[in-house]
A and B are shown apart, each in its own frame.
Chain A
Amino acid sequence: MTAAIQFVIDVLSLGGAYALMALGLVIVYGILRLVNFAYGELIMAAGYTLYLVSASPLPWLVMAVLAVGAAVVTGIATDYVAFRPVRAKSVTAVLITSFAFSTLLQNAAQLLISPRPRSIPLPEVFSDTVTLFGVVTPARNLITIAAAAVLLSLFTLAMRRTVLGIAMRAAATHFTMARMLGVPANLVISTAFAISGLLAGTVALLWLGRIGTVVPRVGLEPLLIAFIATVIGGMRSLEGAVLGGFLLAFIDTALNYSLPQDLLKFRDAFTFSLVILILLWRPAGLVRGPATGQRT
């Protein structure tokens, strides 16, 4: 019984982080039909901001807000630097500019800070453990579950209730039609990048909280996770991205629990095999997006 509870907590906490990562990637993809390959660097930016303000006397919560803010600013900067100048002209160009921006940010971190891991400040509660239904679990896991629940609900509410949210959902199906109703293209796209940064920044706090350090290439794994989760869930659907995140976390955790010790280091190979099977069964992902949609 306790093992079952432990399993559920592990899946939900890992899945919450994965779902937020995936949602941050798909919110931009849904509108632009372009993957932001500099997405992982939003997490890196939040991490280094935490490191840079760690010497200050600020309370941790303020540092955390600054870190999330840095991710939002970096997200909007990605739009202005890598996307806006070329987005109407060529898909290939945006692919390259977003890679370039990613490399640029990583190299800047290497050059200006260090290629080595830098430790980031964490609140004490992150290293506490709590006992829940007889299961001892890191408090961090429960915080992740709570943060994911709050952010996902807020996000859903904003997309359903606000005019801008409705406009963003509309722009994800028929971008030109949304513009012909007066929805400003640039506002929608910048908002998507800002939301992407908000989600990535929050994930950064939780994700880096597991390791306690930040390195220039720290964003690579979250980008990969987000990408796989959105592919499983269906690239065109916000719900799909969240579902894909939780499913990927379920697969990872189940393998962690069931694989014998000497096979555990090959866990990712097992994960990817399962992902391939899922895609053979549902090539367009689990949740099909809106019927049509053209690029800007």
Chain B
Amino acid sequence: MLSVTNVGKRVETSAGELEILKSVSFSLAAGASLAITGASGSGKSTLLGILAGLDVPSCGEVELAGQSLTQLDEEGRAALRAGHVGFVFQSFQLLPGLTALENVMLPLELHGVSDARAKAETFLQRVGLQQRLQHYPQQLSGGEQQRVAIARAFASEPDILFADEPTGNLDSTTGAHIIDLLFDLNREQGTTLVLVTHEQRLADLCQQHLVMEGGEVVGFNGQVSDAGVLTT
């Protein structure tokens, strides 16, 4: 499902060029789950962005759902995301002016799904929010907002789901509920899951685990490498 070869990222800063990601390689089979952990500034989010096609690497190759992301332009990557990718964010990223139902409908409408409303209602029901369809984000608790975000992510039935610190803004109890929900849906849908977290408990639930530090992979499934280039 996901194959990463020698991916690196350099950015221009006022102090000169900075390498924020160094030669990352791994691959992930369809239906598998991967946790990316590391301290703040270790390059987790940059890597997630590149894996999901939100950003392009400075070097290396990323293949997602059988397509080379580096060969695609911005429109092509958007089309790939539309067909295969779902997201869950730390700050939920719900549009404040839209109800819970409308937030879930949005990606379906963008992709021209005809029964967007029914589908969105089904997924909101699956995350236990059938009573909250017409509520606006500010009328929902943090946990409820993240459940809406999860419903939105799964509603378009993606092949791969990227989650960026999905429990980062939640208390531990709510976070635990959200994790259960995420993994339940993941199993039911057979979705590949890539999540960025610094919660060890969450990382332990994933089949694979990638540890980052200073833009390099320093550990993969318990093995530590000096070169930071590991494959399963």
- Are A and B genuine complex partners? no
